[in-house]
Amino acid sequence: MPNNSRFKTRTFATGVVVTLAIGFISLFGNSQRNAEVFLGTQERALAQKKNFDPTSNIKSGERKNYFPNTEKLAPDEMRVVALGTGTPNFRRSQASPSWLVELGNGEKFIFDIGTGSLANLAALEIPYTYLDKIFISHLHVDHIGDLDAMFIGGWISNRTVPLKVWGPSGLKPEFGTKYAVDRLREMFTWDLTGRRGNMPSAGGQIEVTEFDYSKSHIIYQKNGVKIRAWPAIHGIDGAVSYSLEWKGKKFVYSGDTVPNKWFLDEAQDADLLIHECYLSVDQFIKLKNYDPERARIVATVVHTPPSACGKIFSQLKPRMAIAYHTFNDFNTAPDIIADIRKTYDGSLTLADDLLVWNVTNDEVYTRRVIGTDEPWPAAPPHPSGPPDPSERTPRSDWLDAGRVKFPD
């Protein structure tokens, strides 16, 4: 009897091993076949992708979120993306101010380029050659803090044309945009010199157009696009606000300013009206730890508080009012919106980074941008050609002699 038990046990164990082995072989074979099927499907998909236009069947606004580069604008449609909606206080949740305006004719315009905003722009994966026009409202760091990165980083990221900058003059030449851009170029002399001759040179240029800050006038007019600038009251002389008009649609951007007569005159009939809306005096005291006098000056003498912002919106009655340059937090937003709503009952957005507004003849609608946190530079629309070796600055012989070369 014991011998029979051992025999049965060995037989059972052998059966289990054989069964497991057959199962493993079957599982491995199926996995291998599944992998081959998957790879074959991938290869077919990649082959089909060459002839596939992901925007061909998707109309603007059909999705509840906006996925960059998947929707074509209508010929008369405008799209505006918030690249930065915050303040000089740097934070991950809100970059400093920057706005991208895209038109149905393919043109793109950037208004301000504050610190941190370039990462949000990169998330859209737009070729940098198309992002070559920047309009600066004033020279505070939270409105130009990423200009250096856009200048050189955009070049490295395949921009094949010069970066063009428009901005206001000041009371003195050294207070103007040209002076600031010239000094920026000088600051990066070492960087620029080391890249020239190793990269195509066209994208490594920056051009500046400085205009008179003290009057309302058209400072850009081309391909049916008209951009106007007028004086803003913020800090010292030299700040401006902007409007962009195209095909009967009007985008207005205040930059930083207190309420003023020029804005009320020029911002009439706006489809999108973006106005700064900083904290109230009480919020400056409680949340930013300002003393009362400093809070009063910043909130009401240098900036526009929410209560005044609501009155501007109420007087101008845009199709969509957008309040920005604030802290859009759980403990600030309700009070900011409540202060605006005391006097304004129209369409309103308290701006947040990577919101997008589409403007058509029939409606203005707001969505969230679903971009990528790991963007790669998009290919330029036209090749820039090879670098020009004659532009290269050679290293010293003694420095090159210290190089250690490893075999490939």
> In this predicted model, what pLDDT tens digit does every residue of 235-283 receive, in sequence order?
999 999 999 999 999 999 999 999 999 999 999 999 999 999 999 999 9
Taking the C-alpha atoms of residue 224 and residue 181, their distance in angstroms, rounded to an integer, is: 28
Give the rounded distance of the alpha carbon of 128 from its chain centre.
12
Please, what are the domains in the chain? 71-369 (3.60.15.10)
β pairing state of 272-276 and 249-253:
parallel
pTM of the model: 0.85
239: tokens are 């700040």
pLDDT in tens, the chain (408 residues): 444 444 344 444 444 333 444 443 343 444 444 433 333 334 433 333 344 344 445 666 678 999 999 999 999 999 999 999 999 999 999 999 999 999 999 999 999 999 999 999 999 999 999 999 999 999 999 999 999 999 999 999 999 999 999 999 999 999 999 999 999 999 999 999 999 999 999 999 999 999 999 999 999 999 999 999 999 999 999 999 999 999 999 999 999 999 999 999 999 999 999 999 999 999 999 999 999 999 999 999 999 999 999 999 999 999 999 999 999 999 999 999 999 999 999 999 999 999 999 999 999 999 999 999 999 999 999 888 899 999 999 999 999 999 999 998
**Contact, 277 vs 306, CB < 8 A?**
yes
- What is residue 60's predicted lDDT score, i.e. its pLDDT? 67
- What is residue 383's predicted lDDT score, i.e. its pLDDT? 85
The secondary element (H helix, E strand) that includes residue 295 is: helix 292-296
Q: Report the number of secondary-structure helices (H) and strands (E) in the chain.
A: 13, 16
- What is residue 342's predicted lDDT score, i.e. its pLDDT? 97
Taking the C-alpha atoms of residue 78 and residue 59, their distance in angstroms, rounded to an integer, is: 14
